[in-house]
């Protein structure tokens, strides 16, 4: 037992070292990812159920690592967060997304909003309001065509400071939505006090709505509550027509998911916008 205990320890230790090493080397590579042109943005359409039209697109970052290939955001965003690289990277993402949306509009494509995920450290950076204002000015994108997605983890920070930042962003004319709604510890009271326009219901609540009456009840209740607070609701990660039908029954406003499109490169997204295809 002692022997195996030692072996376990040894194994655990090497794995840990490997992980730490991998993380450090990824962090080092991430430092140069922007200048080396390795970061790119994909876009996923958000469809209004009533009209079937694309109303917005969410920006999803991709890292094309020269050695390891595509590294998913679930891996590199946390590295960017703890190394604080998220501030310059996030700024690049915001700028690139706004510039892209303006280019689509200038090309005569239907006007949609571009949604950009804001991480905690980005949001807490004292310059965030100024950064957003400057990017809107530089790109010429009208503020109502930018939407910022924040998570409930942000809502759980120092509430007064959060409200001040949100009010500053809101004053610029950009839209704000709560992402992954229902997965964190949101207080419904905060929702009432935040200048937000949208809730995005997390995929985990939608996975089972076809089979489970309980899940349907939860989703239905979230939507009723959101509407009574004048918030729009987007369902995330929608994959089947059965889910779409149920979400229509619940009066959900918009859907986003593989049922319509996966996240796609900007050129493909432009084609989708140009098609003006109704879902
Ligand atoms: P998120 O903001 O909740 O984004 C939605 C995720 O769900 C995306 O994963 C998207 O590809 C995936 N998804 C969309 N529809 C479906 C579906 O029908 N089925 C399934 N199975 N998945 C679907 P992705 O692109 O891997 O991004 C993961 C997370 O990484 C995002 O979750 C977000 O938290 C973070 N992230 C991505 N891009 C950025 C960024 O530019 N900045 C920041 N701060 N975070 C980002
Ligand atoms: Ca999001
Ligand atoms: Ca989400
Ligand atoms: Ca409706």
Instruction: Tell me the per-residue pLDDT of 111-167, one tens digit each, with 9 for 90 and over.
Output: 999 999 999 889 988 899 999 999 999 999 999 999 999 998 887 778 888 899 999
Closest CA to 200 of 238, 168, 244: 238
Of 182-196, 221-235, 265-279, give the lowest mean pLDDT range.
Answer: 182-196
What's 257's DSSP letter? S
78 has pLDDT over 60: yes
Number of H helices, E strands in the chain: 12, 10
**101-108: Cβ within 8 A, 24+ apart:** 101/57, 101/141, 101/145, 101/146, 102/139, 102/140, 102/141, 104/269, 104/270, 104/273, 105/141, 105/145, 107/270
pLDDT of residue 22: 75
> What confidence tier does 6 reach under pLDDT thresholds 50, 70, 90?
very low
For residue 11, pLDDT beyond 80: no
Residue 30 has pLDDT above 60, yes or no: yes
What are the C-alpha distances in Å from 142 to residues 52, 59, 114, 244?
A: 24, 17, 11, 31
Sign, CA torsion 205/78/116/165: positive
The pLDDT of residue 9 is above 60: no
Measured in Å, residue 255 CA sits from the centre of ligand 1 at 14
- Whether the pLDDT of residue 188 is over 90: the answer is no
Q: Ligand 1 test: best mutation among 60, 83, 179, 259, most atoms within 8 Å of CB?
A: 60
CB under 8 Å to 194, separation ≥6 — which residues?
155, 162, 163, 166, 176, 178
The rounded distance, in Å, linking the Cα atoms of 157 and 177 is: 16
Pairing of strands 146-151, 113-117: parallel
Best of 62, 73, 257 to mutate for ligand 1, by most ligand atoms within 8 A of CB?
A: 73
Angstrom CA distances, 109 to 65, 173, 274, 276, stand at 32, 22, 6, 9
Protein residue closest via CA to atom 44 of ligand 1 = 119
Determine the atom of ligand 1 nearest the C-alpha atom of 60.
38
- 208 versus 105: which is more confidently predicted? 105
Say whether pLDDT at 29 is over 60: yes
- Tell me the average pLDDT across 24-34: 91
Instruction: For residues 230 and 113, give the distance between their C-alpha atoms in angstroms, rounded to a whole number.
Output: 19
CA 44, 73, 153, 243 dihedral sign is positive
CA pair distance 201, 215, nearest whole angstrom: 12
Distance 117 CA to ligand 2 centre (A): 5
Nearest atom (ligand 1) to Cα of 119 = 44
59 lines ligand 1 (CB under 6 A): yes
Please tell me if the CB atom of residue 202 comes closer than 6 angstroms to any atom of ligand 1: no
The answer to whether 136 and 179 are in contact (CB under 8 A) is no
Q: pLDDT band at residue 1, thresholds of 50, 70 and 90?
A: very low
> How high is the pLDDT of residue 14?
57
DSSP type of residue 125: S
Interacting residues of 155 by C-beta distance below 8 A, sequence separation 6+: 162, 178, 184, 186, 187, 190, 194
Closest among 75, 60, 71 to 256, alpha carbons compared:
60
Residue 12 pLDDT exceeds 70: no
In DSSP terms, 45 is beta-bridged to 57
In the predicted model, what is the mean pLDDT of the chain?
90
Please tell me the residue having the least CA distance from ligand 1 atom 22: 237
Which residues, by Cβ under 5 Å, contact ligand 2, an ion? 117, 149, 179
> From the CA of 8, how far away is ligand 2's center (Å)?
39
Q: Quick one: which atom of ligand 1 is closest to the CA of 200? A: 3
Q: Does residue 16 have a pLDDT over 60?
A: no
- Out of 36-40, 186-190, 204-208, pick the least confident: 186-190
> What is the tens place of the pLDDT at every residue in 35-53?
899 999 999 999 999 999 9
């Amino acid at each position: 037992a002692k022997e195996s205990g030692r072996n376990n320890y040894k194994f655990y230790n090497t794995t840990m070292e490997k992980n730490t090493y991998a993380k450090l080397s990824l962090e080092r590579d991430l430092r140069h990812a922007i200048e080396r042109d390795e970061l790119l943005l994909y876009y996923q359409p958000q469809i209004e159920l009533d009209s079937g039209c694309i109303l917005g697109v969410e920006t999803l970052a991709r890292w094309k690592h020269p050695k390891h290939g595509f590294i998913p955001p679930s891996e590199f965003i946390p590295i960017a967060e703890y190394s604080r690289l998220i501030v310059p990277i996030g700024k690049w993402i915001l700028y690139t997304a706004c510039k892209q949306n303006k280019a689509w509009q200038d090309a005569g494509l239907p006007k949609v909003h571009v949604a950009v995920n804001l991480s905690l450290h980005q949001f807490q950076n004292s310059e965030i309001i100024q950064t957003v204002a400057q990017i809107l000015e530089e790109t010429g994108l009208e503020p109502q065509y930018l939407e910022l997605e924040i998570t409930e983890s942000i809502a759980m920070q120092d509430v007064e400071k959060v409200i001040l930042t949100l009010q500053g962003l809101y004053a610029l004319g950009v839209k704000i939505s709560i992402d992954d709604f229902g997965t964190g510890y949101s207080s419904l009271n905060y929702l009432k006090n935040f200048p937000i326009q949208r809730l995005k219901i997390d995929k985990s609540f939608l996975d089972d709505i076809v089979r489970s009456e309980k899940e349907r009840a939860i989703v239905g209740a979230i939507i009723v509550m959101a509407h009574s607070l004048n918030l729009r609701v987007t369902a995330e990660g929608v994959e089947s027509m059965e889910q779409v039908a149920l979400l229509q029954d619940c009066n959900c406003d918009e859907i986003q998911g593989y049922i319509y499109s996966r996240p796609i490169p900007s050129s493909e997204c432009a084609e989708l916008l140009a098609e003006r295809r109704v879902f």
